[in-house]
Structure 1
């Protein structure tokens, strides 16, 4: 069992909606910096419950995704599973709902990893393959927060 799965979630054809997947593409470029016996970086796309079986192979899952919480676009969030479940003001995306269901399915099969989410508030979700200028500007900070979580989770 590996220690960590970093799962980028989103649709890269819908502007800011693809931020989590864009982050995975960046991590693939720097994969030599990480111990591949401990961590995997996977493009989860629009994430369906069909890939819940992946969770069985990891102690922890770090999801990179957009989070719509009504703050300024580019705001970065670090959330635990309890934040997704208990925060009534949090607007869960379909990815989050599928993610929570997948964790439950993995638990029924015998192993439930711990969950963290690094999210970023989108500016616009519409057809287009490029993130908005606001998210492009905030993206390096998003990556840095994700890197810090990866380092912490691997220690």
Structure 2
């Protein structure tokens, strides 16, 4: 089976702002998983414990990138793909470490979590809105992890809270299953 769409996973955030770096940490782990798979590490290896074994092979067919706090640069990162999966921190009314799946059109239309916040120069919803008007959008799925502090609260640290760190191991299987939906 192969993927029917070209897919890019983008981790957004700032590693120097604690929990806001969750998207970057998630794509770093997924990149390590992809590298291990391409290096011939067996799916039964303990490194892949808790991951959906049937979805793991599709990781080889996706592009994974650290988008950092790219702001308007994100516009060029959207081009050339049928589907973009964005992983980022958000602040809503959920518990710390909660994971929300938001369709791009819902984010843009103010449904669900229309108040997604980040430490980016320009917020992800703003960039998506510009892209929709200027260049068109691929399918967008955002996986947001609830953080405690608003990203504008400056507390420079590379440490994430235990709840957000634990969310990464719950988030990655969701992203893998999201990729698998596009396999034929």
Q: TM-score range by the shorter chain?
A: 0.7 to 0.9
Larger radius of gyration: 2
- CA positional deviation for 1:52: 1.4
Q: Note the C-alpha offset of 1:89.
A: 5.8
Unmatched tracts of structure 1, length 5 or more: none
Report if aligned partners of 1:3, 1:59 keep a CA contact under 8 Å in 2: yes
Report the secondary structure of 1:153's partner residue.
coil
Structure 1 window deviating more from structure 2 (65-74 vs 122-131): it is 122-131
Aligned length: 149
Query: Over aligned residue pairs, what C-alpha RMSD do you find?
Result: 2.1
Give the whole-Å Cα distance in 2 for the aligned partners of 1:28 and 1:102. 26
Contact 2:12 / 2:23 at 8 angstroms: preserved in 1?
yes
Other structure's SS at 2:30 match: helix
What is the deviation of 1:35?
Answer: 5.5
- Determine the C-alpha separation between the residues in 1 that align with 2:145 and 2:106: 15
- Give me the TM-score of the superposition, normalised by structure 2: 0.72
Which residue of structure 2 lines up, in the alignment, with residue 50 of structure 1? Answer: 73
Q: Which runs of no fewer than 5 residues in structure 2 stay unpaired?
A: 38-56, 118-122
Residue 15 of structure 1 is matched in structure 2 by 18
In the alignment, what sits opposite 2:133? Answer: 104
CA contact under 8 A between 1:24 and 1:41: conserved in structure 2? yes
Cα separation, 1, equivalents of 2:171 and 2:145: 7
The residue aligned with 1:152 is 181
Q: What is the TM-score of this pair, normalised by structure 1?
A: 0.84
